[in-house]
Structure 1
Amino acid sequence: MLLAAALLAALALITWQVVSHGALTAVDDRLGGGRPAPVPQFLSDLGGLPAAGTTAALCAAVAAWRARRQRWLPPAVAAAALAAAGAVVVPLKAWTARTGPDGLPLGDYPGYYPSGHAATAAVAYGCAALLLGAAARLAVRRLLAATAAVLNGAVGTGLVACGYHWPLDVVASWCLSGALLCAVAAALRRCS
């Protein structure tokens, strides 16, 4: 739980920097502001609910099918984490009302900070790795964790490269999602 606390502290620090237009936002100014292109667009789309949510749902179904007892609990924990990410991201977007790299508000959405796509991807792919790795050997768990990390890095890179989000939007989502994944891992250990 120390890792979860550290991630939440980092989220609080980043949020403070965004709201107060602190020194970290200068980094965003230097690194953000790309333009949509086919490959970054594809990578950013991996963070949407259709791709990430479907992956998590399929992995949850496989995990439930493989489990001998408490079949419903691991997928329910993963679904709760995904819902919790949205329950935190949407109010933070409304509270910060951060404009995007193009200087405009996010259309019908209240703001850019934190990135909903990055949070969805991190929780969905992270939960998929945790669910599939629950009964697997260490090498398989490491491979699943590495795959989730690479996918999330690709999503974050795509979001920034297309100019859809500032880098801090993505990093903040990763901090939030990492804390949620710590809770999911703890819950899965208890029910195994």
Structure 2
Amino acid sequence: MADGPLARLDERLSRSLVDRVPRWLSELGADLGNMTVALPVLACAMAYAAWRGRRVAALYAGLGMVLVPLLVIPLKEWTARPGPLEPWAAGYYPSGHTATAMVAYFGAAFLISNRLIPVAALLTAATGTGLILRGYHWPLDVLASVALCVPLLRWPIISTRSHKRHQI
């Protein structure tokens, strides 16, 4: 994670990718993982789901978002991996922005319509790609967040399937 052959490969890959696109574009992608962008999307989807009588699903989606910092922050502290642009700073592994984007956008998609899942995937991929191309995170930081957040999406998926069975 912070040292070794895989970390060195990750760092070489990152150096070859940083600033390959205009900074405004990579910054735009990275910003999709900000709490000020992703959280209102999830909150609106939760309100819509609650209004439609899917309060449990909305609760589970919100719980997933609450768990993001509870999982990410201790891992950042434990690994203390330095960042691409700030090698003196630590706490880059895993990416909190990627985790926030994934849980918020996929949670919103599961609450509103499964047809939005490709949009959630695109927004999450744009966030992770923007973070890497801008140099804010190493590629493994982003991949670790995706792997970490898959279990957090289990509850909204299960509650969505359960709700659809009750409608039939």
Per the shorter chain, which TM-score range?
A: 0.7 to 0.9
- In 2: Cα distance, 1:57 partner to 1:79 partner: 8
Report the aligned-residue RMSD: 1.8
Match of 2:110 in 1: 130
User: Once the two structures are superposed, what CA deviation does each residue of 1:104-149 show, in whole Å capped at 9, x if it has no partner?
Assistant: 244xxx500000000000000010011012xxxxxxx2x3111111
CA separation of 1:65 and 1:157: change in aligned 2, threshold 3 A? same
Q: In the alignment, which residue of structure 2 is the partner of 1:12?
A: none
Match for residue 117 of structure 2 among 145, 154, 162? 145
Which residue is 2:28 aligned to?
Answer: 42
1:89 aligns with 2:72: yes
CA displacement, residues 63-121 of structure 1 (integer Å, 9 cap, x when unaligned): 11122xxx432211111101111100000000001000135244xxx500000000000
Q: CA deviation at 1:154?
A: 0.5
| Letter of the 2:61 counterpart | A
Corresponding residue number in structure 2 for 1:119: 99
Segment of structure 1 superposing worse, 114-123 or 78-87: 78-87
Measured in 2, the distance between the counterparts of 1:116 and 1:105 equals 19
Asked if 1:76 corresponds to 2:56, the answer is no
TM-score norm. by structure 2 comes to 0.87
* Counterpart pick for 1:63 among 38, 49, 61: 49
How many matched pairs? 160
1:32 aligns with 2:22: no
TM-score by length of 1: 0.77
Give 3-state SS (helix, strand or coil) of 2:150's partner.
helix
* Offset from partner CA, 1:136-168 (integer Å, 9 cap, x none): xxxxx2x31111111111000100011000000
- Match of 1:32, SS state, is helix
Q: Which amino acid is 1:98 matched to?
A: R
Residue number in structure 1 paired with 2:141: 169
Question: SS state of the match for residue 66, structure 2?
Answer: helix
